[in-house]
Amino acid sequence: MGRINKSVSTTKVTRNADGTFNFNKRADAVTAEEPLEIRLSGTTITTTMRTPGHDIELAHGFLHSEGMIKSAAEVTNARYCAGATGPDGQNTYNVLDVTPVSTVRAPGLENLRLTVTNSACGVCGSTSISQIMDKSHRPITPLKLSPELILELPNILRKEQKQFKRTGGIHAAGVFESDGTLIVAREDIGRHNAADKVIGHLMLENTLDKPGRILVMSSRASFELVQKAIMAGFSALITVSAASSLAVDLAREAGLTLVAFARDNRFNLYSGELIEQ
């Protein structure tokens, strides 16, 4: 497996009070970014730029978010392909082939993104709210959240962001019980990958069907993240940055509680209800 972060040489430049500059050459830890090609029975489904680690969780979460599988029981095998080799002839672990049960079929090529998707973009093949609602099969349990809990959950997640502390360039996703108990947290250079990893973890633990859970992201609330939260049956999505208009529309249509800008003792509630004290 590739490393989560890598050391590179850099020059740190700082300006002094008198306007002069200091130049300090040193090693710096940066977040690793490598491609992961996900295949379904040998057919390439997508290639996404990700931080190596928890790739099998990522693949399960991605296939679930795209409506291609509903549970881990629909996957018989997931393995790295030996054909992906680097300059030294060793496996790069950048191609993962998933073998589903016979009832699972890959979507038509017109619904796939077969180009490389960078870590800032999603890999959602759906383009409309109606398509998302048609694919969703897990009911969302309405959940009223207290303002105190909303502000506390990003702080708990931040304590789990070990790679962010080292590199400053990686997103995090965390799944919480309604009482604030952290279930799982994952980091990845792509916010959508981080979400897929925690969803995949719950699938592999066979606990994704438990209602009333909360997805917390260190990123903005995009359409793709709301989609993933809805497909996984989460009751709420909390992010520390902004929400997009389409994300708000989708959350309201699905009955998902959506909170954004949850930082610095404030937040915006775009969908759902609060426990008012």
Could you give phi then psi for residue 135, rounded to 5 degrees?
-85, -25
**Active site (annotated) includes residue 121:** yes
Neighbour-count burial for 70-85, b at 16+ CB within 10 Å, e otherwise: bebebbeebebbeebe
Catalytic residue (one of 121, 149, 151, 156) = 121
- CA 119/CA 169 separation, integer angstroms: 11
Coil/strand/helix, residue 186: strand
How far, in Å, are 212, 219, 250, 268 from residue 260 at the CA level? 19, 9, 14, 5
Strand partners, 254: none
C-alpha radius of gyration, the chain, whole number: 20
Number of helices (H) and strands (E) in the chain: give both, helices first: 7, 13
Contact present, 242 and 261 (Cβ < 8 Å): yes
Residues with catalytic annotation?
A: 121
